[in-house]
Amino acid sequence: AHRATGVLRRLARGLPLHAVSHPPMTTGASTSCATPGSWTRNPWTPPSIVRWLATVQANELRVGQVIERDGSLLQLTKVSYTQGQARAAGNVQVEWRNVRTGQKQSLRLSPSDKLDRAVLDEESHIFLFQAGDDLVLMHPKTYDQVEVRVEVLGEVQRRFLTDDCEVKLLMHEGEIVSAALADEVEIEIKSAAPSMKGESISNQYKPAETTTGVSLKVPSFVDAGDVVVVNTKTGEFVRRAKR
């Protein structure tokens, strides 16, 4: 499988890109019931039901959710709740980023305010290569290719892109909203500072560099050639991989 993917990558560099044409895979809701704000659309569900199930109250908002408001897709980057005094209900302070323009905005909401949560589909792709400011991804089953702007991944996650790694795309009616790597990835250590005698294995960290050029802190027992697990959201060492 790895050899086949490598061949496809070499062929892909010389082929024109085309849009994803296959039906999207959904994140899948429970077949028994769905709670408001946590449901993913079934293509056969009437639009009126979709709208009701995708509505979420302000006090249920979470960072990372995407809200559909006045024709714009807004991804929440910060949510905080202020407790009201006496009988006052308090308020919800949110910050969000326009997915299309990148513009940021702050807004104060009442806890009972209702917002439309965008119904998103999730698709897994394989990273092939980077072409300028774009990442070229391939669907593992249809081999369709798609281009994604590199900044969609975020500054931390893009440092851990390696050949054949999985990239998950969140899509809204065929439009790519965001991309993300798995929360944890395995990566090889290229070089690491020597350990000093008497260092405690549990709490002493030293500088190291991965084969992809990423600098990070690792425990004293990690050496060059070791494969470690790294958190792609924080860029921090998690554990040494089992091999």
Average confidence (pLDDT) over 195-216: 78
Nearest of 94, 92, 72 to residue 84 by alpha carbon: 92
Cα dist. 115→37, 65, 68, 103 in Å? 9, 11, 8, 19
Q: Please, which pLDDT band fits residue 214 given cuts at 50, 70 and 90?
A: confident
Under the banding of pLDDT at 50, 70 and 90, the label for residue 55 is confident
- Binned at pLDDT 50, 70 and 90, residue 204 comes out as confident
Q: Is the dihedral of CA 201, 202, 206, 212 positive or negative?
A: positive
SS (H, E, C) the chain: CHHHHHHHHHHHCCCCCCCCCCCCCCCCCCCCCCCCCCCCCCCCCCHHHHHHHCEEEHHHCCCCCEEEECCEEEEEEEEEEECCCCCCCCEEEEEEEECCCCCEEEEEECCCCEEEECCCEEEEEEEEEEECCEEEEECCCCCCEEEEEHHHCCCCHHHHCCCCCEEEEEEECCEEEEEEECCEEEEEEEEECCCCCCCCCCCCEEEEEECCCCEEEEECCCCCCCEEEEECCCCCEEEECCC
Average pLDDT over residues 111-124: 86
Dist CA 20 CA 140 (whole Å): 12
Average of per-residue pLDDT across 92-121: 85
pLDDT at 17 > cutoff 90: no
| Neighbouring C-alpha atoms within 13 Å toward the C-beta of 196 | 8
- pLDDT exceeds cutoff 50 at 33: no
Is 0.75 surpassed by the pTM of this model?
no
213 — pLDDT class (breaks 50, 70, 90)? confident
pLDDT band at 72 (very low <50, low <70, confident <90, very high): confident
